[in-house]
Structure formats: structure tokens, C-alpha cells
A and B are shown apart, each in its own frame.
Chain A
């Protein structure tokens, strides 16, 4: 879910063509946002999980994703200052740092990652999907923008491990009777089902390619890193571009690049160039840390560890189980999409998914990156860890970081735990090989 916009990136870094394509998509989007008032386009703030991008685009509105702004601020080392600003305004040190980073950024003028001011919202589309904090977040934003309406979409949680037709119906009813009317009112245009269908058809195309790319990690030499690289790959589809021809083209390009690496038996490209020998195949659960993203990644590739599957790349939609946006049932498909996002799954389901990844991607182990900010992800991860260990017979690793709070990333601590873990895997493997030899 990241578009790393730091143009100051080291020139030595090898970049794939798709990265430039993505960068341009984002830059153009921020230009459109900066010109929104002149162009008369309406601006809608919303969240990544359960984002209704096709609906937003069908009304010709411009999406803004505060989570993405926060993670960008983290990558640009601005988040510490923003969080401090929010805490000065009475926010507790205990709560989600995405929220505080976002509030702090607004208090300091709401300047986005490109240096342009992000326009005020015309509508707050509160897709309350898989994260309770979203609800508070947009209540807080409504306090800041008292004249901006909130369109609240309550997406029920898959508490019993599945979504029911009644849940779909509830979401569809909200779309029809709450969300769409609010869009119509804000934009002054009527709902255009044809436009929506067209966007949904595009979404499905891009989704096919994304799934192909992520599953390419099943190759003996993984051509991608499904976590550190994966967050770039999900960028367009998890944010403002799903359903656009641009996103379809991006995923085609990405797939081509990955196909080429598979054919050449090559690994992913890291910030320090192509990755060397892949000694450990790891599955990762939990969001990344953004303030020390590169340093964190380096701790993996320096040790020859490649992430072959991650749950974080499913927060904006779980596609590997077959779900695709379906233009034939536009509102139902949006509802099913929201209901199926990763953080909306219950813990036993999440455990099953991780255990499956370990098996299907032939992983040596798995890591839980427990992020302080995000209770939706983190609460219960220690129990999940034990369960995945039980089911797979593989020992898991556990570390603690945060999304964008630089005070909560201790590089030496994380490195110590990761190194210990990789060394343990190596020792186990050596012992197993010795046994086979004997």
C-alpha cells in the first residue's frame, strides 16, 4: 500500500519500469487533487480496507486515503513531528499513530507527499471495515470539517468465519440508501451504473494479474518479495486507481517483469540491487514499519531471507480465494469485496490463511510483525503464532514495531530477534541435513 515518492532515493537503486509507471500515476493524482477546487472535482476521503474506489470514480470524485498519507509521512520521516503535534493537542500516546499522524499533518497545513496541499474533503466516506479505529478517525475529521458530511458504511465482521447473504444485503442496502444518495448530493450527479460496471470489469482484469504476480513467489527462486516489494505492488489496486485503465496497464507491465525474472530464475530487486542467494523463505503477518522501511527490509535480504507471502498485501482485498469484482452485480460485488478484506476475517480464518501460506509457498518459517498502533491486526497475534506453529510444525518469530511512530522502532532490538531467528532456522536445517546424511 505504498507508493514511495521519495525522489531523493539513491540513484544507484535499480528500479523496474513498473515503479516509474506507478510513480507517475500517483504524481498525476496529486496534481488532480491540488487542482480539485479549480476543476470542480469533489474530494472524498476514505480508507484502504473496504475502499469503494470504483464507486468514487463512477461519480468522478477524487479519492484521498489518509492512511496512505500517514505512511508516506512515515517514509519521509515527517510522522514523528506530526504525531507529536497531535499529542500536543490532547491525543493519547496509547492510540493509533496513523490517526495521530494524519491529524498532526492537518494541523500543520495538510501538505501531502508531493509538497502540494491536499484539499479539504467534500465527503468523508467512512468504510468501517475491519478496523474500529476508522470510526473514531472520521468522527475526529468531522470535528475538524464540521460542514462535511460523513457517509457511514458499516461492514459486519466475519465473526463466525464467513459472510452471510444477510450481511451482503445489509451492506448493499447501505450503499443504495445511504452512500449513493450522499454521493449524489455532494456531486450533484446521479448514480451511473454503466460507468460503475465498466470500472468493475477493469478491476477484475488488474486483480487477475496481481494474483498471478503474488503467486509467482511459489517458484523455487521467488521472483518477488511479497512484503517489502509487495507493498509497492498493491499500491495502485488498493488505493485510488482500481478500475482505471491505468491500473490495468500497470499490472500488465508488472506481470511482464515478474514473468521475465521467473524465466531467468532471478530473485526480487532490493534497494541494494538484485537479491542474492535465497536462504530462507518467510511468511509475514502484520503491517510493515514505515519509518525505517528500508532498514527493516535490509535486515531480511542481508540474511538471505525473502518473504514469499504476507497477509498485509491482503488488507485491501483478498483475491487469491477467487473473489473478483463482478460487473454483473455491481453493488453486491462491492459488498462482498468489503466483507472479504483481510482485517475483516476472524482469527481462526487468519490462522488458516497463514498456515496455508507456509505450506503452499514452501516457507521455512513465519514472522509476526506486531504493530503497536493496530489492535485489529495485533491483538491475538501471540495466540495465532502458537496456532500456526501447531498446524505447520514450524517455529514462528515475533517482533514489535509500529506503523509510523519512530519512537517505536528499535532497530537493534528487531535485528537481534530476526538474526536469532534466521540463525535458528539455519541451525535446524543443518541438523536435519546431518541426520539425512547419517
Chain B
């Protein structure tokens, strides 16, 4: 089937959205941007296409409801199984890379010790992974880097001292290895891996053996269906790095405006808080941008700030919001300077202020910065949509709701659960338009075209 894809290369995460030619969302994918945008782009695209296949799977088993009960839950079980397989494969790669690097960095008896340590550590990581990807398990993060990183640190920290090895040196091995592993795009035998995952899900759901064949037929279909990506439009901070013709690259401003408009057609103002910048965008009734402002050179108050705070508090990024929401008395914070984030936090904790109250203050401070940017762009006088990673943070949303009301009165505030994909969604719509009314395709050499479409089908 013909489809298009929009890819949003953000500073922290890379997102992709696949649309059919009627602009319906088929699938979404996300990954951490890492140091290599090309790989991030590949991974996000692969994830989005996979997601599209899972969604097709879900549609394919709607008729089997009496067999599996909850169709969504069953599809999710299939995804979990698939992710586990992917994770385990990546883990094997990490183990061999670490082993290889250790062979370079350590010698003699020390190397033997490292090898023994790694046997234990990676064995434990596999067991941990099985638990992390259990059918109904919740994870701090879905990114391999985060999951593997935290368990490696924990396990090596425990084992290094006993083995008389330097924790820092072993950490150094990991830091190098993860870059190499992340730069590697894994080729997956979809039919095989999906088959394995399906068996696990069927067993776990207790589906009778005689019904299995029908499910395998569906899996076979979704694993082999041709997803023909006719146009790819790139956006986001790293868009210039994409090997696309210029017309296939759109600024994130236009994409966020259009994406927000597609989700909430009455949107007139869009606020996007991403990892490294914040944007306030005004759009008209067709989703066309009429003006915009981006945060100034000082990136204080962007999403990344929350990342620093989470690190400093040793929390997962998505744990910050819920904790802040338990606050009963917001602490007033005047500076959201990332440079001073750690010091500010320690000062306040030392002064006896509660974590949740400080966090509530930090969330308000971030949204205050965004409010200034909104004012710079022309303010809010109609339906308002909040997008970007920070829109997933409930405490930030609470603060925004309050401040918008204080400053602009009653305003409809839209937040989509998939708000982080808004830019990619807008890009994908541009791609559909480009596919229907090509401005470049005829001008693009076959070679470029091939390069762009490479990896378009799994």
C-alpha cells in the first residue's frame, strides 16, 4: 500500500509518523536521537513502520475477539514480546561489544576478572529484561540506552568492588560500547520474530492450539505487506542532515502548526516544548503559520532542563510530573538556568524544602518562560494546543492550564496523547501533499530518490 512518512529529528528524540494517502495515521515510532542522526532516523522509521504493522495486526484480529478477549491487550502482548526479542538481540550485541572493548582496555588477570564479571552481569541483565518486558510490566523508559545503562551501572557497581576492578573504567567501556551498538541498525526477520512473539502471546492468553493458525495467517500478512513509502518529509532540529531534496525538508514550525491543526482543527495557537527549544506558533484556519517565536539563545526552561533535574534527583523523566503533582505548597523558583539547576536544587533540599514542592515550582517556572514566549508571539485568543515531549508531563500541563487562565481567561486547551509526534505528523501531511501534487519528484534524480526511499519497506 502507498504511504508517506514524516520524520522529526529532535535534539533528544526522533519521531516518525506513517500516513496513508487519506492522511490517516498508520503508525508512529520514536527513538532517542543519540549522536548519529542517520541511525536515529532509520530506527524511528523502522519503529513507525513496525507500529503500522502492529496496528494492521490489531485490525486483522478484530474478528477474533471471542478468542482473545481484549484485542488491544492482545496486540500489546504481541508488541511486548517483539520488544523483548529486539532488546535481547541488542543486549547480545552490547555484550559482545563490551567484551571486545574490554579485550583492548584490560590485560592479563584483570581481563579475566572482567570477563567473569561480564558473564554474571549480562546474565543478570537478560533475566532482568525478561521481567521488564513481561506482558503487563511498566518501564521507566523504552529506550535501550536507558534500560541497559541503568541495569549495567547497578550491576557493575555491585560487582566491581568485589572483583577489585575500577567502576569508572568499566563505565567507560559501556559509554563507548553503547555508541557503537546504537549506531548499528538491526535487520530483523519479521516473520520469524513476530512468530516467536505471537506464540508467547497466545500461550500467555491461553488460546487453544487449534485457533493458532488463523493468528499466524494475520501475522504473516502484516509481516509481508508492502508498505510503499512514496514521499518522506523531514523536519526538526537535525533536518538539515537528512539526505533529502530541499523541498522534502520543512521547518518544525510549519510541521508543528500543521500537525496541531490536523489533530485539533480549531487550533489557533500552538505551544511546543521540546528538548532544546520552545516554540510559540500562531496558525490560521488552514493550519498555515502566521507568526512564530522560538526561545532565545538561552535555553533555560526547555525540556532538557527537566532532564537535568531528573538526573539530579535520580528519577526517571516521567516520574517528575506525578511527584510534582503531590505538592501541597509550590516553592517559588526564579531561575530555570540549566547551569545552576543542580546547585539550586541542592540548596533548596538543604534548606529543608520538600522534593515535590520544589518540583512543582520548577514546573511552574518552566511554563512561565513559555508564557513569555507566547506573549512574544502574539498571545492566545482562541483554541490552544500544547505539543512536544513536555506535554506528556501532567504537572507541566497543570501549571500551563493555570497560567493560561490567569493571563488569558477561559481558553480551550488541547493536548493529544500522541502530542510528541505532532511535528512528524505535520511533516507526513506535507509528504502526502507532495505525493499528490509533486513539486520535486520529477526533478529528483533516481539516485536521490532511491536513497530517500531506502529502508522504506521492512
Contact present between A and B (CB < 8 A): yes
Residues on A close to B: CB < 8 A? 370, 372, 382, 385-386, 389, 395-396, 398, 400, 408, 410, 412-413, 415-417, 419-420, 423-424, 427-428, 431
**Does B254 contact A389, Cβ atoms closer than 8 Å?**
no
**Does A428 contact B290, Cβ atoms closer than 8 Å?**
yes
CB-based closest 8 A-B pairs: A420-B251, A395-B291, A420-B253, A400-B297, A424-B289, A423-B251, A431-B288, A400-B296
Q: Which of A385, A396, A408, A419 contacts B297 (CB 8 A)?
A: A408
Q: Tell me whether A413 and B292 are in contact in the complex, defined as CB-CB below 8 angstroms, given that A423-B250, A424-B253 are known contacts.
A: no
CA distance A389 to B253 in the complex (A): 19
Query: Which residue among A385, A398, A419, A420 has the maximum number of chain B CB atoms within 10 Å of its CB?
Result: A420
Q: Does B312 contact A (CB under 8 A)?
A: no
Q: Tell me, rounded to whole Å, the shortest Cβ–Cβ distance linking B12 to chain A.
A: 15
CA distance A118 to B293 in the complex (A): 44
**Does A423 contact B253, Cβ atoms closer than 8 Å?**
yes
A-B contact pairs, 17 of them (CB 8 A): A382-B376, A386-B376, A389-B378, A395-B290, A395-B292, A398-B293, A398-B376, A412-B240, A416-B251, A420-B251, A420-B252, A420-B294, A423-B251, A423-B253, A424-B254, A427-B288, A428-B289
Q: Tell me, rounded to whole Å, the shortest Cβ–Cβ distance linking A43 to chain B.
A: 38
Knowing that A395-B292, A424-B291, A427-B254 are A-B contacts, what are 14 other residue pairs whose CB atoms are under 8 Å apart, sorted by A's residue number? A372-B297, A386-B378, A398-B294, A398-B296, A400-B296, A408-B297, A412-B237, A416-B294, A417-B294, A420-B294, A423-B254, A424-B254, A424-B292, A431-B288
Q: Tell me, rounded to whole Å, the shortest Cβ–Cβ distance linking B66 to chain A.
A: 50
**Does B292 contact A428, Cβ atoms closer than 8 Å?**
no
**Does A419 contact B251, Cβ atoms closer than 8 Å?**
yes
Count of B residues near A, CB < 8 Å? 20
Chain B contacts with A in 266-298, Cβ cutoff 8 A: 284, 286, 288-294, 296-297
The interface residues of chain A lying within 8 Å CB-to-CB of B291 are 389, 395-396, 424
The interface residues of chain A lying within 8 Å CB-to-CB of B286 are 431
The interface residues of chain A lying within 8 Å CB-to-CB of B378 are 386, 389
**Does A420 contact B254, Cβ atoms closer than 8 Å?**
yes
The interface residues of chain A lying within 8 Å CB-to-CB of B297 are 372, 400, 408, 410, 413
The interface residues of chain A lying within 8 Å CB-to-CB of B250 are 423
Q: Which residue of A lies closest to B294 (CB)?
A: A417
Q: Tell me, rounded to whole Å, the shortest Cβ–Cβ distance linking A389 to chain B.
A: 7
Q: Tell me whether A416 and B237 are in contact in the complex, defined as CB-CB below 8 angstroms, given that A408-B297, A424-B254 are known contacts.
A: yes
Q: Tell me, rounded to whole Å, the shortest Cβ–Cβ distance linking B6 to chain A.
A: 15
CA distance A386 to B296 in the complex (A): 16
Q: Tell me, rounded to whole Å, the shortest Cβ–Cβ distance linking B111 to chain A.
A: 42
Secondary structure class of chain B's binding surface, majority of residues:
mixed
CA distance A400 to B376 in the complex (A): 15
CA distance A400 to B298 in the complex (A): 10
CA distance A428 to B292 in the complex (A): 13
Number of A-B contacts (CB under 8 A): 54
Chain B contacts with A in 240-265, Cβ cutoff 8 A: 240, 250-254
Q: Tell me, rounded to whole Å, the shortest Cβ–Cβ distance linking A198 to chain B.
A: 48
The interface residues of chain B lying within 8 Å CB-to-CB of A408 are 297
Chain B contacts with A in 367-402, Cβ cutoff 8 A: 376, 378
**Does A428 contact B288, Cβ atoms closer than 8 Å?**
yes
CA distance A424 to B258 in the complex (A): 12
CA distance A86 to B376 in the complex (A): 35
The interface residues of chain B lying within 8 Å CB-to-CB of A431 are 284, 286, 288
> CB-CB contacts of B33-61 with A at 8 A, as 1s and 0s?
00000000000000000000000000000
Q: Which of B288, B290, B292, B296 contacts A420 (CB 8 A)?
A: B292
Q: Tell me, rounded to whole Å, the shortest Cβ–Cβ distance linking B417 to chain A.
A: 26
Q: Tell me, rounded to whole Å, the shortest Cβ–Cβ distance linking B25 to chain A.
A: 22
Chain B contacts with A in 314-336, Cβ cutoff 8 A: none
CA distance A428 to B254 in the complex (A): 11
Q: Which residue of B lies closest to A401 (CB)?
A: B297
The interface residues of chain B lying within 8 Å CB-to-CB of A389 are 291, 378
CA distance A408 to B297 in the complex (A): 9
**Does B240 contact A415, Cβ atoms closer than 8 Å?**
yes
The interface residues of chain B lying within 8 Å CB-to-CB of A410 are 297
Q: Tell me, rounded to whole Å, the shortest Cβ–Cβ distance linking A60 to chain B.
A: 45
Q: Which residue of A lies closest to B236 (CB)?
A: A416
The interface residues of chain A lying within 8 Å CB-to-CB of B284 are 431
Q: Which residue of A lies closest to B290 (CB)?
A: A395
CA distance A424 to B256 in the complex (A): 12
Q: Which residue of B lies closest to A424 (CB)?
A: B289
Q: Tell me, rounded to whole Å, the shortest Cβ–Cβ distance linking A372 to chain B.
A: 8
The interface residues of chain B lying within 8 Å CB-to-CB of A416 are 237, 251, 294
The interface residues of chain A lying within 8 Å CB-to-CB of B251 are 416, 419-420, 423-424
Q: Which residue of B lies closest to A416 (CB)?
A: B237
> CB-CB contacts of B291-308 with A at 8 A, as 1s and 0s?
111101100000000000
CA distance A417 to B295 in the complex (A): 10
Q: Which residue of B lies closest to A423 (CB)?
A: B251
CA distance A419 to B255 in the complex (A): 13
CA distance A252 to B288 in the complex (A): 46
Chain B contacts with A in 331-383, Cβ cutoff 8 A: 376, 378
Q: Tell me, rounded to whole Å, the shortest Cβ–Cβ distance linking B252 to chain A.
A: 7
Q: Tell me, rounded to whole Å, the shortest Cβ–Cβ distance linking B359 to chain A.
A: 29
Q: Tell me, rounded to whole Å, the shortest Cβ–Cβ distance linking B365 to chain A.
A: 20
